[in-house]
Amino acid sequence: MLKAIADVLRSIGGAIATVVTLPFRAVARLFGGASDTAHGHH
């Protein structure tokens, strides 16, 4: 019983983590590309 609950909580936590980190990755990629083109190091 406890193992089943732990599995459910783990899967829910993984889904939440994915949903939460996706926007941050997109923003980081946007800012990374913007800063690269702005500074023109490459």
Predicted local distance difference test score (pLDDT) of residue 42: 62
CB 42 within 8 A of CB 36: yes
Task: Tell me the whole-structure pTM to 2 decimals.
Answer: 0.52
Q: Is residue 40 over pLDDT 70?
A: no
Q: Element (H or E) spanning 41, and its range?
A: none
Written as one letter, the residue type at 40 is G
Structure tokens at 19: 């949903």
The tally of CA atoms less than 13 A away on the side-chain side of residue 33 is 5
In tens, the pLDDT along 7-38 reads 999 999 999 999 999 999 999 988 888 777 76
Cα–Cα distance, 24 to 39 (Å, whole number): 22
